[in-house]
Amino acid sequence: MKNLSNLKKYPKILIGLVLAVSIGAISIFLYMNRVTDIDKMSMTYDQVFDTNILSQNITTSFKQTYQLKDYTVYGENLMLYEEQYSTESTDKLLGKNVLLKNLVNNQEFIFTFSGGVDSGIDLSQLDEGLYEIYVYDHYKQKRVYFSEEFVSEKFTTMRRNETVKTVTLHTERDFLSGIDVKMEKNYAFLMVMDNTPISSIYDIVLDPCGNTIDITSNSVDYGYSNEKISEAQSSYELALMVKEELEKYGLRVLIPREQDEDLSYYGSNSRVGKGYESNAKVFISLGMVADDTIVYPYIITSPYTNALLANEIAYYMKGHGISMTPVSTESRLQEGVCFDVIYQGEQGDDFTSWEMYPQIRESGGKSTFAGQVAHASENKIYADSYGMYGLYFTYANINVDESIDYYLSNKEKIAKNLSKGILQYFRVEKQEK
């Protein structure tokens, strides 16, 4: 009672203590009830963003519009199409600029659709927000809408600083009904949220070649081997080394087969199936080649891409002391990069042409026509899936001793610089502890 009596003699002190306690209680309440990244996984735009700002910035009708019919996601790139995605003709969106306007803060991003499924909207660059989509057509800015209403599957970007972005494409007229807004057409919106990564979602798949089940002959291809090297073993060891390097940067990496496990490239429990089921963004096979001329490593990439990832890796590796085999004469490809070969389909195939390497063809989802080859029917479940950016990294030639010796003498350096090339392309920086 003595302390209380003393406080009554000094009312300012008493008031100060009461205010301090009140502020502390309010701060704790606000902290405990704040919107976290985990909360946002199940929240809608009107629960995350300031609806007053959205209402002020939104436009419900436009004089200039641009109709689209399709889209793909490959790696971390969103491609939009004026017609249904196919290889039969060049889409009219090629060469045009696409503008994204963030209704939360009026920030704008511009992307040029230069062809290739890896050259559209880089989803990893987008800040959190709700974006309107426009196309510059003959210097006129036109609002994008789709012929049909839909909500896309949620896409999750790679981990960066222990954070991912989740992205959803919306084209429903009543998408903004939560703020009493009705759209005139199926205008397209991209909703982007920053989230905490989920452990079951992976960033990269490293596929060690060898021990491959060949479903056409119901046999196992154990890979190349001689007295110096075994492809199945060396590929697995290289995958472990690359995995270790990538995980130093906070990425989650999946090796789809155990050391002595036999797996195919078809079905939900296959190498690519595990990649799809884990929502990975990149699928890189590590293997060997049998050739009379190849000495140094090289990279095979999909002809449906602009080879941006492969070019970045090859450029980085060569710049850091790794010799790369010149396997292409195309000026747009770095030394050590080539496109996969397109084969024409046999009679009875639903698809008229396909890529030779199943590692690249079957990992790219809709973008590389996964599941379309006659013997790939088990992968039809991924025919409309988001595509992993597929590469085949050839590290040695079983027919040339010099090539094997080069790899065995430089495998740690190759693993490190292969990893660094991947990290540089995706702008993944080492986390500060």
Select the more confidently predicted residue: 23 or 342. Answer: 342
Residue 99, pLDDT score: 97
Residue 42, pLDDT score: 60
Task: Answer whether residue 409 shows pLDDT above 90.
Answer: yes
Select the more confidently predicted residue: 292 or 354. Answer: 292
Residue 360, pLDDT score: 97
Task: Answer whether residue 325 shows pLDDT above 60.
Answer: yes
Residue 216: pLDDT band with limits 50, 70, 90: confident
Residue 279, pLDDT score: 97
Cα dihedral sign, 220-365-242-326? positive
Residue 32, pLDDT score: 44
Residue 314, pLDDT score: 98
DSSP string, 354-407: EES-HHHHTTSGGGGTTT-SGGGGGGGGGTTSPBPEEEEEEEEETT-HHHHHHH
Select the more confidently predicted residue: 221 or 73. Answer: 73
Select the more confidently predicted residue: 161 or 432. Answer: 161
Residue 30: pLDDT band with limits 50, 70, 90: very low
Task: Answer whether residue 124 shows pLDDT above 90.
Answer: yes
Mean model confidence pLDDT for the chain: 90
Task: Spell out the domains of the chain, with CATH numbers in brackets.
Answer: 39-195 (no CATH), 204-425 (3.40.630.40)
Residue 294: pLDDT band with limits 50, 70, 90: very high
State the burial class of residue 202 (Cβ atoms within 10 Å of its Cβ: 0-12, 13-18, 19+). buried
Cα dihedral sign, 47-50-51-54? negative
Residue 49: pLDDT band with limits 50, 70, 90: confident
Task: Answer whether residue 352 shows pLDDT above 50.
Answer: yes
State the Cα–Cα distance between residues 44 and 55, nearest whole angstrom: 15
Q: Which amino acid, one-letter code, is at 187? A: Y
Task: Answer whether residue 29 shows pLDDT above 50.
Answer: no
Task: Answer whether residue 14 shows pLDDT above 80.
Answer: no
Task: Answer whether residue 157 shows pLDDT above 50.
Answer: yes
Residue 90: pLDDT band with limits 50, 70, 90: confident
Task: Answer whether residue 351 shows pLDDT above 80.
Answer: no
Residue 21: pLDDT band with limits 50, 70, 90: low
Least confident interval from 40-49, 80-89, 195-204, 287-296: 40-49
The stretch 58-86 carries a mean pLDDT of: 95
Q: What is the pLDDT of residues 233-252, one digit of tens each?
A: 999 999 999 999 999 999 99
Cα dihedral sign, 305-308-313-317? positive
Cα dihedral sign, 11-13-14-16? positive
Give the up-direction half-sphere exposure of residue 309: CA atoms within 13 A in the CB hemisphere.
Answer: 31
Task: Answer whether residue 134 shows pLDDT above 50.
Answer: yes
Residue 63, pLDDT score: 93
Cα dihedral sign, 287-292-295-301? negative
The stretch 414-419 carries a mean pLDDT of: 98
Q: Are 362 and 272 in contact (CB under 8 A)?
A: yes
State the Cα–Cα distance between residues 107 and 126, nearest whole angstrom: 10
The stretch 324-329 carries a mean pLDDT of: 95
Residue 115: pLDDT band with limits 50, 70, 90: confident
Least confident interval from 31-35, 212-216, 257-261, 318-322: 31-35
Q: What tokens were used for 218?
A: 């119901």
Residue 11, pLDDT score: 61
Max avg pLDDT among 92-96, 239-243, 369-373:
239-243
Select the more confidently predicted residue: 350 or 92. Answer: 92
Residue 200, pLDDT score: 95
